[in-house]
Structure formats: structure tokens, C-alpha cells
Structure 1
Amino acid sequence: MSASPFVLPSAPASLEVVRDRVRLRPFLEGDLDAMAVYRGDADVCRFLPFEPQTTDDIRRRIGHLFGQTRLEGDRAGVVLVIERVADGAIIGDLVLFHLDGDAGSAEIGWVLSPAAGGQGLATEAVRALIDTAFSIYGLRRLVARIDADNVRSLALAERLGMRREAHLVENEWFKGRWSDEVDYAVLAREWTPPREA
């Protein structure tokens, strides 16, 4: 078996991604209170792999990723807060993690405040994350694993043009029920970045 032809480029020393209405940047200790507002909401956490979180819960779960821009290494990943450009409010966060360096692939995920729903901000933010994963991190493939009952996230993956690759039936006991998982993916060569204004 030959070695993979994929070579992961170096991580950026700093990272800020700005679009029309959202700004993405690595999350920091000072973001915990704002994140706990939406991550502490039981409805928001319904399809997430954790219960409602306090600032201490968030710190314990992902605090090792404060300011992180590297994907490589044990427990590595990149968590980016989503700031609304208009007022600087933190309206959600995004994650790029579970790197398979040999395959040039990683998983993406998102958590959004219900207060920011229905405005297209999630689509703009996740699109910016995908752009970043391909153009800055040089990844080849991205996957989003979504609970089949999470209709908003399924619709978001569809709006982004991700390909529905699998529907795993009752594959995991999750929050008191057997849940189905729907996997979406996109390759760098398939991705069309937004046109510059």
C-alpha cells in the first residue's frame, strides 16, 4: 500500500474570516458567557452530543481549543465563534475537527443561537467555514454528520450544496432513543466559493 498523496499545509498563525454579515475567529475565554446563552438552551442541544452547558461545562469540553488554529494532534480541532458584523454579537460557533490527515478530510459542525435564525446567517457562516477548510487548511473532503430529525441542519447542508451520502438507520442510542444519522459531504473540487462583490 502506498502513502497518501495528500499533504496537509501548515496551519495559519492567526485566523479571521469576514463575510458580508458574519465574522469567524478562534474562540477565547472571553466568549464563554455569550456561548453559554445558546449552548445552555435545551432546544439548541436537542441534537448535539451534550446537554445544556454552563460556561464551566464549555471550558471543560473545549477549553483546550482556546485560540487554536491547528488541526493536527491529539484532541485538536478549530472552534470558531460567529460574530454578527452589524453589532459584534456572538450568534454561534463552528467546529472543524476529526482530521484524517492521510485522507485530507475532516468533520464540520455548527451550533447557532435561535435568536439568529431565519436570516441566512447560518448559511453564510458555514459557507465561510467550508471556504476556509478548503482554501486555508487545504483539506480535500468535509463531512457533516446530522441527526435525521434535525430538519434545520439537514436543510442547511442541502442549501450549501453538500451531497447526501448516507442514511444510517438507528445507528446510535442517543438521548434516550435510537437515532438515525444522515451524512453529508463535499469535496474541494466540487465546491464553488462565493463570488467576490
Structure 2
Amino acid sequence: MLPAPPLPLTTERLVLRTVVASDSTAIGAYCADPEVTRYLPFPALDAEGLAGRMQRLVAATAPSVPGEFLALAVTHDDVLVGDLMLRFTDRHGETDPPAIGELGWVFAPEHAGRGFATEAARALVDLAFTHYPLHRLMARLDPRNVASARLCERIGMTREAHTREDYAERDGSWSDTAVYGLLRREWAAA
């Protein structure tokens, strides 16, 4: 069992904290927008979908094993502007702590263009490598999601792969996946 992360995290303009039930209205507003969820692994959320997502986000406070994740609400001047996640995906050996983490994010479009996603993602990367014994971080995204690809590059990730038609879309079609990665030693050198 890994210890819970030291939260909240404070950056120059943001506070990253655990997600609480009262965040539902703000998260529901941007996650109900089909334009926001266009490249996410879930459709625009209705009330039932939001309830399930909120249940998972609120519970995601202290990951320890692959499959578990940490969810963080991102606030600016006490306004929720987005949320982030760090999900453990793999470990070196059967009893070892997690070695690979996957990053994800979603931000309200009305707060875009102000650098909040970059600032928050950098704070999450720092937390991932200082608090957890991770060897590598990765992000998997639809290559058409140019904003997320640029965010990966701004936080020091390298585009490592482009896999063709490996993700089944909700409409039955197939889309590609871009994979970005950042090793602990690259983060430490930066």
C-alpha cells in the first residue's frame, strides 16, 4: 500500500486537490459538451453518466496498484477549471510497486488558452515522480487532438508511437492512437 499523496498541490495560479461531490456541477458542465469529450474515452455525459464518473473521481484519492488512479480537481481563484488523472498501468515485478503511470486531463473550454492545463500537468508530473516510485509516465491520445499533443510536448514528453486504427470509436469506426512518454531520468535532467 502506497501512502496517499500530499495534497493539495499549489502552483503559481492553481490548486490541485482531490475531487469532491460538490464538483459535480462544474465537471458536469464541461463533460456534457460533445466538443470537449470528442477525443475522450467516454461520450458527452448525461446525468447518469456524470453520477458514475463522479463516484469514480471522488474515490480516486490514493492509488497503490495497477488499474487504480488519482483524480485531481484543478481550481483557479476557487473556480474549478478542469481535472487530471494519474492511473497506474504496470509494474516491474508481481510484488513491486507500480512503475508506469498514465496521465489524462480534461479542461473547461472557457478557461482554455491561459496555460492552466500546462501548469496543472507539470505539477502532476512532478508529484508522480517525487511521490511515487514510477519509472515512466505516458499519455495516450487521439492524434487529431492537437491541443493535448502540444500539452504533452510542453511538459517534456516525447512522441513515441502512432498506432493505426487500434481504438474502437463509439460509432463503430476505428481511430488511431498517439503515445507520448517521459522517463524519470528525463524529468530529473530537466
Q: Could you tell me the TM-score, scaled by structure 1's length?
A: 0.85
Instruction: Give the alignment's Cα RMSD to 1 decimal.
Output: 2.1
Q: Is the 8 A contact 1:14 1:69 kept in 2?
A: no
| Offset from partner CA, 1:132-163 (integer Å, 9 cap, x none) | 11111232211100101101101111111201
Q: CA deviation at 1:72?
A: 2.2
1:186 match? 182
The CA distance in 2 between the partners of 1:44 and 1:140, in whole Å, is: 31
In structure 2, C-alpha distance between the alignment counterparts of 1:60 and 1:166, rounded to whole Å: 32
Q: 1:40 aligns with which of 19, 32, 45?
A: 32
The one of 25, 37, 45 equivalent to 1:53 is 45
Q: Which letter maps to 1:89? A: V
1:5-154 alignment runs, 5 A limit: 10-12=2-4, 15-66=7-58, 68-73=60-65, 76-84=68-76, 87-102=77-92, 104-154=99-149
How many residue pairs are counted as aligned between the two chains?
184
Cα offsets for 1:53-78 (capped at 9, x unmatched)? 14542331351442533222585211
Question: Identity of counterpart residues, as a percentage?
Answer: 37
Change in Cα spacing, 1:133 to 1:89, as seen in structure 2 (3 Å) is same
Structure 1: gaps of 5 or more residues: 1-8
Residue 161 to residue 74, structure 1, CA distance change in 2 (3 Å):
closer
Contact 1:146 1:183 in 2 (8 A): yes
Runs of 4+ in 1 over 6 A off after TM superposition: none
Offset at residue 185 of structure 1 (A): 0.5
User: Structure 1 residues 12-21 or 121-130, which shifts more?
Assistant: 12-21
* SS of residue in 2 equivalent to 1:108: strand
Q: Which runs of 5+ in 2 are unaligned?
A: 93-97
- 1:54–1:21 CA distance, 2 compared to 1 (3 A): farther
Deviation of the 1:16 alpha carbon: 1.0
Give, in whole Å, the separation in 2 of the partners of 1:74 and 1:81.
21
2:66–2:88 contact (8 Å) kept in structure 1? no
TM-score by length of 2: 0.88
Deviation at 1:24, TM superposition (A): 0.6
Higher helix share: 2
Q: CA deviation at 1:28?
A: 1.1
Deviation at residue 107 of structure 1 after TM alignment: 0.7
User: Could you list the per-position Cα deviations for residues 99-147 of structure 1 after superposition, in whole angstroms to 9, with x for gaps in the alignment?
Assistant: 3233611111000111111111110010111111111123221110010
